[in-house]
Amino acid sequence: MGAGASDRPPTGASAAAGRMRGRLALADVVGLALALEARQALLESERRTQDRALAPVLADEQGARRLRRWVALSATPALALRVRRVVHAVAWTRAVFSLGGMLLGWSATSALLSIRGPGGRISIAACLGVLVALPFLSWLATLFGGLLRGRRAASDRAPLARPLHRLILRLLPASVRSDAEAIFGRARAHAALLVRLQRALATQFLLLGGVGFGIGALAATGIFVVFTDLAFGWSTTLDVAPERVHRLVGALARPWAELWPAASPSLELVEATRHFRVAPGSPGPGDALSGSSPLLYGGWWPFLVMAIACYALLPRLLTLPIVALVVGRECERVLRLMPGALALLESLASPWIESGGEGGQERASRALDAMVPEVALAGWMSRAAGGEVPVAIVWAEAISPAAIEAEIGAGLRIHAAGGRASVEADAAVVRAVAGSGGALLVCVRGDEPPLLELLDFLAALRAAAGAERALAVVLVGGAVRDLETWQRKLASLADSRLAVARIERANARGAA
């Protein structure tokens, strides 16, 4: 299977198109098993490319039919050839069973009609036993073992099917054997799912064999009837009245009695064809029958022919389509449950979404150690003021003048910068405070991040006010983690006289 189905025309699509709507078949199971194996060999990206290319074409199909279509579209010529080989092998197996059954039916009938008893009689009971009763019972057994029991059985055991399929595998050419494991074998990953399918297939093969047997038996009977003179008879050690035997064969002949009355043995025929070894006048072995009309002894053949047709052949012919349906249903089940099939269906149904970032991500490195120290505002003020009135610059309306006076003390010289103020106004504030003395307080909102424009302002302030002037950034409100953020960011200014202090938001709020 190629990596990209869009690179080449989908092989097998036209050939498979005709049967796309038909019943699911063994070819689909084999195709999917082999195609999924080939899929395993692909890279994830190749699988994805292929699935996404095929998904729109498969959008109209569901479940197992979508899988079948996927196989048809994605299979390479080599894979399609392998599938065809296995399908041919199955067809060959069916033919072998049919022909084998036919040969067996012919042989058995020939043998039965050739073995003559006393007076050259052929035992009608033996004929009915081998050509009618045995096939009928085997049909019942096949049906029970293959379909009824197979449907209900909880275990994986398939006592008849497994040996039969092992035998088939052994008879297949080596080139096909490995691929035929997809339905007959136990070596595949999905082998455990095949039990019921294998049972249904074994049933189908056996039914075909039975049909062949019936046809062979009918053909042989016809030949013998036309080209030889058959003399049937019956005997028993038991004290059975001919009337009872007549009732029995009459019951057996009931299905066709109306259609072909001659094929329902009469009481006269039953009585006339009964023989005893020790009765007076009975012919010995090798002696020819005498007395009665020779044609009377051949009167059983229509009954025998109809019994073979009705009890050995017809039930199988009627059952075969049902088994074909069961095979189709099991194929669908195996397709649905095959390992990898569900993942494939999901992949076909789900769009491939890519939404991740492209290229590398450049991240800011974070200085881990450097932090501007936090100070207690009152103590810092008393140490730094130097007898002069402190200057407070309120950045971006972080606190009202009344609130800052309430917090720090009256008599402050207060300026406003940042926020709605222009850049020129900021510069004017820097110039204004540079000429005065006293500690410098820049009040900012603690819950907002430190921006570069504030750092620019602080740098300008330091340059204008001189390196020794006490300067503190006062955080109004904000959490403890905000304080740390500010301490680290302000450290990038490398200002040894810079400090950070906090005012609780609750204190500032009242007057703000």
Chain residues that interact with another protein, rule: CB under 8 A: 6, 52-53, 55-57, 152-156, 192-196, 333, 336-337, 342, 346, 349-359, 361-364, 366, 396-398, 418-420, 422-424, 445, 447-453, 456, 481, 485, 488-489
The nearest distance, CB 489 to another protein, in angstroms, is 8
Least Å distance, CB 106 to another protein, is 37
Residue 144 Cβ vs another protein, minimum distance, rounded to whole Å: 10
Rounded to the nearest whole angstrom, what is the least distance from the CB of residue 431 to another protein in the complex? 17
The pair of structure tokens assigned to 46 is 């190749």
CB of 494 to another protein, least distance (A): 17
With respect to another protein, which residue has the nearer C-beta, 325 or 479?
479
Residue with token string 């189908």: 204
H-state helical runs in 188-340:
195-227, 242-257, 267-272, 294-297, 301-307, 314-337
Min separation Cβ 94 and another protein, Å:
24
Q: Is 57 helix (H, G, I), strand (E, B) or coil?
A: coil
Q: What does the alpha-carbon distance between residue 216 and residue 225 come to, in Å, rounded to a whole number?
A: 14
User: Of the two residues 274 and 488, which places its CB atom closer to another protein in the complex?
Assistant: 488
Structure token digits, residue 475: 């955080």
Judged on CB neighbours under 10 Å (0-12, 13-18, 19+), 216 is: buried
Q: How far is CA 20 from the centre of its chain?
A: 19
Nearest Cα neighbor of 230 from 116, 118, 126 is 116
Cβ 38 vs Cβ 79: under 8 Å = yes
To another protein, the closest distance from the beta carbon of 479 in angstroms equals 9
Host H or E run for residue 176: helix 174-184
Nearer to another protein, 274 or 333 (CB): 333
The b-or-e profile of 437-471 (16+ CB within 10 A means b, else e) is ebbbbbbbbbebebeeebeebbebbbebbeeebbb
Residue closer to another protein, measured from CB, 19 or 488:
488
Q: How far is the CB of 339 from another protein (least distance, A)?
A: 9
Surface-to-core class of residue 291, CB atoms within 10 Å of its CB (0-12 exposed, 13-18 middle, 19+ buried):
exposed
Between 126 and 460, name the residue whose CB sits nearer to another protein: 460
d(Cα 263, Cα 384) in Å, to the nearest integer? Answer: 132
Q: Residue 342 CB, nearest distance to another protein (Å)?
A: 7
CB 436, min distance to another protein, A: 25
β-sheet bridge partners, residue 444: 475
Toward another protein, which CB reaches closer, 127 or 181? 181
Which lies closer to another protein via its Cβ, residue 305 or residue 327?
Answer: 327
How far apart are the C-alpha atoms of 415 and 377, rounded to whole Å?
19
Shortest reach from residue 428's CB to another protein, in Å: 14
d(CA 7, CA 3): 8
| Triad 141, 317, 84: Cα angle to 5° | 95
**Residue with smaller CB distance to another protein, 223 or 493:** 493
Closest by alpha carbon to 37, among 339, 332, 333? 339
Bridge partners (DSSP) listed for residue 475? 444, 502
Shorter beta-carbon distance to another protein: residue 178 or 485: 485
Q: Do residues 230 and 301 make contact, with C-beta atoms less than 8 angstroms apart?
A: yes
Q: Which is nearer to another protein, 52 or 116 (CB)?
A: 52
Q: 94 or 488: whose CB is closer to another protein? A: 488
